[in-house]
Amino acid sequence: MAERVTALVGGNQIIIETGKLAKQADGAVTVQLGETIVLVAAVAASKAKPGQEFFPLTVDYREKAAAAGKFPGGYFKREGRPTEKEILTCRLTDRPIRPLFPKGWFNEVQVQSVLLSADGEHDSDILTIVGASASLAVSDIPWDGPLGALRIGRINGEFVANPTHSQMKDSDLDLIYVGNASDVVMFEGAAKEISEADFIRALKFGHDCCQPLIQAQKDLAARGGKKKRDITVSVVPEDILAEAKRLAGERMVPALLTHKKLEREVAVKTLTDEIGAKLVEKFSAEKVTENVLKEAFYYIQKETVRGLIMQENKRLDGRGFDDIRPILCEVSILPRAHGSALFSRGETQAVTLVTLGTTEDAQEFDSYTGGETQKKFILHYNFPNYSVGETGRISGPGRREIGHGALAERSIEPMLPLDTYPYAVRVTSEIMESNGSTSMATVCGGTLALLDAGVPMLRSVAGISIGICTMQDDLEKISDYKLLTDIIGWEDAFCDMDCKIAGTEKGITGFQLDLKLRGLPHVIMTEALEKARVARLSILQSMAATLAEPRKEMSKYAPRIVQVKINPEKIGALIGPGGKNIKRLVEESGCEINIDDDGTVNIYSVSAEGMKIARDAIEGMTAEAEIGKNLPRQSRDDQGIRRVCGIPARQGRPGAYQRAGQFPCQANGGHRQDGR
């Protein structure tokens, strides 16, 4: 029987319904805001696969063109591999729900979401998070929810819950907040230099807005939910774990306190191999399986790392809790890139490259849920196996790489004057070495490379990651904690938080919170943000010592641009019939020429001579007659056609192609940017 509940969030009604669709799933709901609707279904395997040693959770989100009343692009007219937006929505949904499954339960779980209706104003990512929570809440799958989620904007200084795409154009904040009844669970987004105090207020606003959603899901589970299934969790036998601890004794501490990452890994592996052999000898290979050994030593390492931090105030690499690892910055390290930089923070290292292109190089994409369909600024992040000294499958970017690149991109983008800057900009981050927070190293290195390329950034952006190690009481409430600035990989693995904050000297521009806890009190988050601010200012000083402002001169390999304004009525004369004039001008000058409908002509060239040829010809063909002004020298060809710099001075009826919407405005004779 279908059950429906509603929740009022910031004046918007969200409808959650179960029992009508996908009834063979363990739990399924539809979530609706406006006329945007998603279906989310959750299914868990009845038992774990033999030898399973981790929790296999898969979250998948897909958009259907039919939801927006459109055909998919491409020859096959069928949705293909997931887009970047779909992948980022999967990550948004995965991160808050994952910590709430039982520890040691290894049954495979799949949470699948599909967009069924899109109104072009309300995005579906928030509905997918709410739907994942609700589908798990009404199912028999063991899960410690529910959660509330919303997007927060700030318009004219006022916070807005779940703003539309139209409203977001005026917002200086894009915050996705996920919380439970008492704490923050996850956040992600970007801002235009929001202060730490205002950011905390935004989190509090989001937390209050989550409560009606949480209550609605509880009501729905009470009315249409299933009884949670009985489960069996995988634990290491107590006798084997006790013997492993006895054999390790105090030897694990000096192994973990080896300051260099690779040396630490070798020391720990040598010790675990030795102890593992003794455990097999005592208990037999059938009882001491590879999975049992792995889990036992993970537990011992985790207990030791946390004990060093909480009881002895020691970090694995010898730093104080607030210390940042040594920073090294270099710029102009690659001769042919338009801008380049090397940023190192301890054993984390990123090489960043900037490429400047014309507006034709901007990325265009379909958007079924509304919002932007073009990007002039793109940041791509690559994480090869050698950066951690490992081998593995070599393929295209995975979800992690796309997510890290998106975080760095939105952290830097608020400081780029994209509305007035005539170039498309691409930053490529190649991770050379990894030991903690390569995405924040990408923010720092990307900023330096942009300055090196002469991109007029408003202010430099830096980022840092803050971690936490906690002690909890019997009710799993935090009883003690230590915050860690600039966490390394082992602290990320064995502690409880990875909170990435990026920004300028004036405020926050990008943020992302990942927790292994069930939630974090806002008072602790306030303290973490302050530590991130102090660390960020220190890193910005180190970056400024290398390059503090954009270079005045661009790379000689970067395309130059000159903008010429002409009378829009003369666009047809400039282009000529079938684009004949503009094509010949491109061929003779070697430039790329783009023409906007308002009469702005953008000329791109790496050659000063070619730039002059193109500019003189354009001005000659479109110049207005002025008393006392010398017109460009004219000549006639063999057919007696009057020419300016080799181009027919008057061909085509001015404005005819513009009015018909058929003229090719780009240098290659392609179509206008509006697709006509």
User: pLDDT-based confidence at 634, cuts 50/70/90?
Assistant: very low
User: pLDDT-based confidence at 539, cuts 50/70/90?
Assistant: very high
- Evaluate if residue 237 carries a pLDDT over 60: yes
Give the tens place of pLDDT for each residue, 474-521.
878 899 999 999 999 999 999 999 999 999 999 999 999 999 999 999
Residue 82, burial from CB neighbour count under 10 angstroms (0-12, 13-18, 19+): middle
Contacts of 170 (CB under 8 A, 6+ apart): 155, 156
Task: Classify 560-660 by CATH class.
Answer: alpha beta
Identify which of 2-6, 288-292, 370-374, 668-672 has the greatest average pLDDT.
2-6
Angle formed by the axes of helices 290-312 and 238-248, to 10°?
A: 60
Residue whose token pair is 């290491």: 236
| Phi then psi dihedrals of residue 477, to 5 deg | -95, 145
Ranges in the chain annotated CATH 3.30.1370.10: 560-660
| Phi then psi dihedrals of residue 574, to 5 deg | -65, -40
The answer for 55, left when phi > 0, alpha when psi is -120 to 50, beta otherwise, is: beta
User: pLDDT-based confidence at 630, cuts 50/70/90?
Assistant: low
Lowest-confidence region among 82-96, 389-403, 505-519: 389-403
Ranges in the chain annotated CATH 3.30.230.70: 3-224, 327-546
Calpha distance 303→297 (Å, rounded) = 10
pLDDT at position 656 is 32
Ranges in the chain annotated CATH 1.10.10: 238-312
Give the tens place of pLDDT for each residue, 159-174.
999 999 999 999 999 9
Q: What stretch of H or E contains 497?
A: strand 497-503
Q: Mean of the pLDDT values across residues 75-95?
A: 93
DSSP secondary structure letters along 40-56: EEEEE-SSPPTT--S--
Lowest-confidence region among 141-150, 446-455, 600-609: 600-609
- Evaluate if residue 211 carries a pLDDT over 80: yes
CA-to-CA separations, 503 to 125, 410, 411, in angstroms, rounded:
24, 11, 7
Q: Which amino acid is at 383?
A: F
pLDDT at position 285 is 86
Q: What is the pTM of this model?
A: 0.88
pLDDT at position 130 is 98
Give the tens place of pLDDT for each residue, 99-110.
999 999 999 999
Q: What stretch of H or E contains 398?
A: none
The CATH number fitting domain 238-312, selected from 1.10.1060, 3.90.550, 1.10.10, 2.60.40: 1.10.10
Strands 109-117 and 57-63, how do they pair? Answer: parallel
Calpha distance 543→389 (Å, rounded) = 27
pLDDT at position 626 is 63
Calpha distance 296→104 (Å, rounded) = 12
Calpha distance 431→428 (Å, rounded) = 10
- Evaluate if residue 66 carries a pLDDT over 60: yes
The CATH number fitting domain 3-224, selected from 3.30.1330.60, 3.30.230.70, 1.10.645.10, 3.40.50.1950: 3.30.230.70
pLDDT at position 286 is 85
Q: Name the superfamily (CATH) of residues 327-546.
A: GHMP Kinase, N-terminal domain (3.30.230.70)
Q: Which amino acid is at 10?
A: G
CA-to-CA separations, 228 to 136, 221, 222, 475, 519, in angstroms, rounded:
10, 11, 12, 20, 22
pLDDT at position 484 is 98
